[in-house]
Structure 1
Amino acid sequence: MTTGLSLHIGLNEVDPARYEGWAGTLVACENDAHDMARLARAAGFEPTVLLTPDGTVSQVTAALGEAAARLGSGDILLFTYSGHGGQVPDDSGADDEPDALDETLVLYDRQFLDDEVQQAFRAFADDVRIVALLDCCHSGSSIEIPGGTDDGSGRYLPEPQQRQLYERDRGFFDELRRSLAEDGSADGAPDALLVSACQDNQVASDGPVNGAFTEALLRVWDDGAFQGGYRDFHRSIQRGLPPTQSPNLYLTGSPEPEFLAQRPFTV
């Protein structure tokens, strides 16, 4: 018997005390987390849901650490995030960031670097299948997002706040990157599959009930009626969204072809 664990994070706002007065209020992110947890439970996963104030760095990393301790070869982790996406300059000039930016998940208490996501995924045993679904702006490669303006409907940390927060937190992120690079230098990228809400140069739309990406995903999944692999799943979601929001299929490490060909959410 294989085991499936899932973690679903939905943030309708962040702590303004940690983001220089910006709350980043959204509408549909908690709904997205609940709906993805229902999908996961029906598919045989054991879901954990973290909503707005519980979507902190410590709680997210603790939940991922607990999952890594439980899952072994052949098991599966499903990780979903719905909220704001952002980026911070990567002044270290790492080779894996050709745009000199680190993509971030805008968690309740601070931005969570893509390097930190990778570090958490590295803790999983070899041959654990990892699937990440990110409904946030500029998320095309967020497990390994560039500027723009926020018209109020996008899930993007606006540039003025980005600049202000980066100047405040530059020293912290520089030290964090150094620590992550030392810890992960010998391990390489974890084997993981990302289906994101949009490309790196696009924004993801919020909605009255679900985010546009999550709404399209749920429609394609059709309560489990979908047949096909992850590539077909990605293409079908893509057809349900406008060209201004094109979901991305992105791989790190070397996921097995058999994994990519599986019906999504197969435990």
Structure 2
Amino acid sequence: MASKTAAASASAPALKVSTVKPKALSLHIGLNAVSPAAYGGWDGPLAACEFDANDMAALAKSKGIKSTVLLTKKGTRAAVLSALRAAAKALKSGDFFLLTYSGHGGQVGDINGDEPDNQDETWCLFDGQLIDDELYLELSRFAAGVRVLVLSDSCHSGSVVRDFPPPPPPPGQRVKLMPAEVARRVYAEHKDFYDQLQINVLRETAKATIDPDAALALVGAASHAAALVGVFKPAVLLISGCQDNQTSMDGAHNGAFTGQLLKIWNGGAFTGNYASFHARIRAGLPPTQSPNLFVLGSSAATAAFVAQKPFTV
């Protein structure tokens, strides 16, 4: 009997072990200027944002990540939204998406009452602003189990910044913040456009719900995103250049946040997880610029994501 069992075992087909590697894509946006036609005559000159995008794309390439790079004039609303939607469609559970932005942060009037300061934060793309509500909606389109890392080297235009002008930047640096007077003018000139974008997001998220207990665990931007979109299927980790009441600095080659990130990463020599990565970056920047970190998604998925070495595919 034993010999028959052994023979049967030997002839049975071997179990197949999946060797499919996770897929990884990235999108890198860097704008050294914006179109004056879309910003009331303001062109928002910066120096290091294209370097930031290219350097982050090089980092992604070193990790085997297929990248798309959109620099200045190519960094349009249509191009960014198209790239985000293509990535969301292409990736499935276990895959990885890296999104980096370097450029000005701005603000438009909040018409849906989800911002306590009545202003929605934006990324200043070349031909118009991308509202944070839109970004949260696009991120929510990724499938369950996808890991999404967002690195934003821009100002968040928090309420304190709006009420009190930031201190002058160090010599040779610019603040990555659209001036408040420009923001007001741009919004006034394009009010119907930006209001309609927010209305469109509300229509798509009208049925969004979030567990009340989960909502209590979220603060700030994470709470805002969850309240707007509901439960996030992917695990989203966002590290931004500064707190909502601070400003991010431009530089000669890299923005202060991106430059410090690359220094800590050290060509891949860094061995910690995302939590220690954020802490090290923050420790290397002045008190006036303290990078923020928040997560979206299930607690188990985001905890596992944060525990990984940065840029792990």
TM range (shorter): over 0.9
How many residue pairs get aligned? The number is 261
Provide the residue aligned with 2:211 in structure 1. Answer: none
Matches for 1:1-267 after TM superposition, within 5 Å: 1-94=21-114, 97-138=115-156, 146-147=161-162, 149=165, 151=168, 153-187=174-208, 188-190=230-232, 191-254=235-298, 255-267=301-313
Q: Is the 8 Å Cα contact of residues 149 and 238 (structure 2) preserved in structure 1?
A: yes
Q: 26-35 vs 184-193, which deviates more?
A: 184-193
C-alpha deviation, 1:5, in angstroms: 0.4
Secondary structure of the residue that 2:246 maps to in structure 1?
Answer: coil
Q: TM-score, normalised by structure 1?
A: 0.93
Q: Which has the higher helix share?
A: 2
Q: Deviations over 1:181-219 (max 9, x none)?
A: 121233415341110000001010000010000000000
CA distance in 1, matches of 2:302, 2:250: 33
Gaps of 5+ in 1: none
Secondary structure of the residue that 1:256 maps to in structure 2?
Answer: helix
Q: Is the 8 Å Cα contact of residues 149 and 158 (structure 1) preserved in structure 2?
A: no
Q: 193-202 vs 183-192, which deviates more?
A: 183-192
CA RMSD in angstroms, aligned pairs only = 1.6
Gaps of 5+ in 2: 1-20, 209-229
Q: Deviations over 1:198-255 (max 9, x none)?
A: 0001010000010000000000000001111111100000011000000000122334
C-alpha deviation, 1:159, in angstroms: 0.8
Q: Is the 8 Å Cα contact of residues 87 and 146 (structure 1) preserved in structure 2?
A: no
CA distance in 2, matches of 1:186, 1:214: 37
Q: 171-180 vs 47-56, which deviates more?
A: 171-180
Q: TM-score, normalised by structure 2?
A: 0.80
Provide the residue aligned with 2:18 in structure 1. Answer: none
Secondary structure of the residue that 1:167 maps to in structure 2?
Answer: helix
CA distance in 1, matches of 2:37, 2:191: 18
% identity of equivalent residues: 49
